Structure 1
């Protein structure tokens, strides 16, 4: 490294995050000079727990106008964030989290005055982060602002609401391309009287009933990305028909406590351009076979991302409910959750066989026979996430090892997550079988949880020898000491991140 030209070293350093740059700056005087170049610090994070009162002044004098993104969390008025913003004319993204009213409003106001190129403003858990003055500054000083996020997870934040003028806020929203509002109770007055938003293409909200959303959605003619969290979904046919008029939608995500599955297929039939669809029901409801199959048959042919999550769904297709369900042929991402304990594995494999290009798969049910069948029939699979492996035994990993002797084709798997594994499936012998299988050769990320207490240093040795490309290992409930983990990291020629924590 000492022989490399400084231009090349600077290019390498530009790929590092803030923490890594700080560590490089401690190596030597030369590295400090290289790592502290202002152009490398265009994205900075400021935490109120570690920042002192003089930090903003030092950052202003050091970075000047080179900062492009600022993320601030837990700052108070004593931290004087506006001092840095006043010198950040090149700022394009400002993220504020967990800040009270005065410092948040002052920061947004200063950004409106001093940051003409601001494109994104994200306010998360900031009480009354917008005021009339800050909105006027944004309207006049940030003409290119296209994304506004106002998320308040705390109940206190929702109760306070917004202290700004609803008219000014609506005027700002009309200029946006993306709007995210977590607190529907605070945003409802503004959204009900919202004029037409010709530029808005992405909208997300939480807590609203579908009937209250129909009017605002009708004023977003260019909407292509809609993400909703509500209590009840599609309770009337009239609501469904009105929402189905948004034929431009390419991404639709619904997270609702109660979902009427019978109303979903007619909705999908009205969305021919849909490319991403996620549907989640958090209540313990039962979905009939005919409804589940009808959803699958109604999926647009061009869909590439699908997520379906029900507590008691049955994805098998019984006689008399129409033609067999198939998945869109171009599907690349699939997430199925809520499979019954006795799901028809053959039917599931037939379903997955209809999309050979699948690259990301998440299932909450897996058995010893299903695991090797998945990996041998999905040649392009890169990421497999199994959220419930409680039924797996050590035989599942032994079956993977036999794939090579059987000459079965296996995918170039980059990530494997096996969660809620039991003691009988996580043993040294089982890990040796997994790492000796062709599946392990290309793994970059491996995550094993719920109970790794029986694993010893022999398992780490198996992983090191069988997964030469590994960059991240996550273990839950293991008893490994720091010496074991350090020896494991040193067995690789590249950096490997190891996370070792308690049971998940």
Structure 2
């Protein structure tokens, strides 16, 4: 053991003469270092002068995530990283780094012109000035997260539209100063947008959707949760690539008429719809959706209190790929609606999750109907007061396909079949 320890000391005692540095070419060592994370690279940099040069080589720092060090990250750290990495850096996450501000981001943009993914989620000191810097120097930017950067305004979106035209994924959630004018400027310049997150942007109205519809034909994902001024209106053309839409809590005033209109704006290839708490939408709106969107896989109708069994009948007929359905607090749903759903193609071949908590009309009969759902993984029955433990145990004993299924009866009551 002592001889081995002595050998290790000798190998690393003189960095330039270390055996590993003699036996392996620098190119191979550099390749090895490229697989290391940030912390390990920093440790390697302290081993010797030779390793310091190799570990801190910009080619090893193409992807950096500083979230775990967020409390220690100040502007000068970002500036030093940008100078060290330069054009090598492709992805940087500064999520939660509250001390990072516009000045350091300007230096970053000037030095790291090949950046493609940038996460500034929660960097509350960031303003329009950072977006202007990115626009000037970072034309290759494809993904930008500005969640909770509350000082961002329409001027930032105008700048991005002029200089970051390759932008594909943009998160502006809770940037509540943005209006539809900003979305118009963005959509005109960034026509390759594929995902746009606008949660909590409370000043947006249906004009924003029209601009996106007109200028961003490749848009696949849009999240307008809690956009309380949203009233989707009718249009002749479609977002032909759209497959995920979130309108949850967008406004309690969205009615079935708006839903019908939105189907024409949206896409017949829609796969995921989150419409929780759209409490004025009726079966009429969801009927149009079911008849037009045959690729639906997941649907959240929590607290859509006007929905009845008729919606389930339409889904069972027209949506054979449905895998997950939330009907929480849909108080008009009955066992008969579940009967239609469970006997359909989606029920027998696809359905994995059914959330029926707080549906007071659901009884043990629903469990009988769900016997035919061969792929069911989770059933939520919290506060379904007419569903009994005896009913669940009886079904569990009768059917093989409930093995592995999680039945949730309450906060502290879960049965694994």
User: Does the pair score TM above 0.5?
Assistant: yes
Alignment of 1:70-219 (within 5 A): 82=39, 86-87=43-44, 113=56, 116-124=59-67, 126-130=70-74, 132=76, 135-137=79-81, 139-140=83-84, 144-152=88-96, 158=98, 160-162=99-101, 165-171=104-110, 173-183=112-122, 185-188=124-127, 189-194=129-134, 195-206=136-147, 207=150, 208-219=152-163
Correspondence for 2:329: 389
Whole-angstrom distance in 2 between the partners of 1:392 and 1:323: 24
Deviation at 1:462, TM superposition (A): 2.3
Find the residue that maps to 2:67 and give its secondary structure. Answer: strand
Q: What is the CA-CA distance between 1:353 and the residue it aligns to?
A: 0.9
How far apart are residue 434 of structure 1 and its match? 4.1
For the aligned residues, what is the CA RMSD?
4.1
2: CA distance between counterparts of 1:463 and 1:173?
59
- Name the SS of the counterpart of 1:252 in structure 2: strand
Give the match for residue 96 of structure 1: none
- Aligned residue in 2 for 1:269: 214
Correspondences of 1:58-69 after superposition (within 5 Å): none
Given the superposition, is the C-alpha separation of residues 433 and 303 from structure 1 closer, same or farther in structure 2, using an over 3 Å criterion? same
CA distance in 2, matches of 1:473, 1:322: 38
Aligned length: 366
> Distance between the aligned counterparts of 1:323 and 1:243, measured in 2?
19
> Which residue matches 1:293?
233
Structure 1 residues 380 and 110: CA distance shift in structure 2, 3 A: farther
Which protein has the bigger helix share?
Answer: 2
| Cα separation, 2, equivalents of 1:325 and 1:372 | 22
Which structure carries more strand by proportion? Answer: 1
Shift, 1:205, TM fit: 0.5
Query: Match for residue 416 of structure 1?
Result: 353
Q: 1:196 to 1:145 in 2, by over 3 A?
A: closer
Structure 1 residues 413, 463: closer, same or farther in 2, change over 3 A?
Answer: farther
The equivalent of 1:367 in structure 2 is: 308
CA distance in structure 1 between the partners assigned to 2:110 and 2:398 by the alignment? 60
Q: Deviations over 1:339-375 (max 9, x none)?
A: 334x331342123211212222222324333224322
Q: Residue 269 of structure 1: CA displacement?
A: 0.7
2:271 touches 2:298 (CA, 8 Å); kept in 1? yes
Inter-CA distance 183–151: structure 2 relative to 1 (3 Å threshold):
same
SS of aligned partner of 1:442: coil
Contact 1:209-1:232 at 8 Å conserved across structures: yes
Quote the offset at 1:409 in angstroms.
4.0
| Structure with more relative contact order (C-alpha pairs < 8 Å, separation 6 or more) | 2
For the residues of structure 2 that align with 1:278 and 1:323, how far apart are their CA atoms? Answer: 14
Deviation at 1:378, TM superposition (A): 0.7
TM-score by length of 2: 0.71
- Contact 1:86 1:111 (C-alpha < 8 Å) held by counterparts: no
Task: Tell me: CA distance 1:258–1:141, structure 2 relative to 1, closer, same or farther (3 Å).
Answer: closer
